[in-house]
Amino acid sequence: MTRTVVDKDGDVYINHDGIETKTDKAVLYNIHGEKFWIPKSQIIEDNGETLVLPQWLAEKNGLESDW
């Protein structure tokens, strides 16, 4: 079992392979070959390569930190 690494604020850092599409409320990310809809209201940061999400949302989607 792998452990999700979170920063001191409880944020998870995930490398992504780009954005497939966007709506007014969500973004469809390509993450490690799988597609995930992420609500815009839950995206803490996206620098074009790394997506920062709250820990609870990453765990809900089965995503683990890449850092």
Instruction: Specify the number of domains making up the chain.
Output: 1
Q: What is the model's pTM?
A: 0.83
Is 2 domain-assigned?
no
Domain that holds residue 15: 11-60
In a domain, 67, yes or no: no
pLDDT of residue 10: 86
Q: Which among 18, 45, 39, 40 has a CA at the least distance from the CA of 29?
A: 18
How do residues 11-67 score in pLDDT, each as one tens digit? 999 999 999 999 999 999 999 999 999 999 999 999 999 999 999 999 999 999 987
Tell me, yes or no, whether 40 lies in a domain.
Answer: yes
Q: How far is CA 29 from the centre of its chain?
A: 8
Q: Would the pLDDT of 4 be above 80?
A: no
Per-residue three-class SS string for 29-63? EEECCEEEEEEHHHCCEECCCEEEEEHHHHHHCCC
